[in-house]
Amino acid sequence: MVRSFAGSHGIFSAYHEVEILAALLAASFYGHRSLTIFTKLLILLVLAYILFPFDIIPDVIPMFGYADDIMLVRYLLSQMKKEVNDFRNWRQAHPNVDVYSPIIPENNG
C-alpha cells in the first residue's frame, strides 16, 4: 500500500510526492543518481500529465479535478517504491547536495 511510504494523504502529501519525483529526475539528470531510461520516461510522462492542462478529470472541477493527478502520482510511487525509498535515504545522508545543480568535476591540475 502506498500509504506506508508516501505519508499522510492530502494535497500537501501529494505536493511532497511530486517534489520527490522531480528531485529524483533532476538528481539523475545532473549525475547525482542513476535511473533506467524506463524510469526516467515514466517520471517524465507523469509530470507532463500533471502539468498538461487537459486531464481525464479537468482540474477546474472542485475536489475531483486533482484526483486523477494524485492517483497517478501515487501509482507511480508505488511502482517505484524501492527507488524512491533509496533516494530519500540518499538525500538524508547527503543533505548538502543540491540535486538541481550539476556535479562540477574537481580540477586536479
Most confident of 22-26, 63-67, 103-107: 22-26
Q: Please say if the pLDDT value at position 24 is more than 80.
A: yes
pLDDT of residue 7: 46
C-alpha dihedral (57, 82, 28, 90), degrees to nearest 10: 120
How far apart (Å, rounded) are the C-alpha atoms in residues 6 and 42? 18
Non-local (6+) Cβ contacts of 86 within 8 A are none
pLDDT of residue 76: 84
pTM summary value: 0.64
Would you list the domain boundaries of the chain? 8-93
DSSP state of 106: P
Q: Please say if the pLDDT value at position 9 is more than 90.
A: no
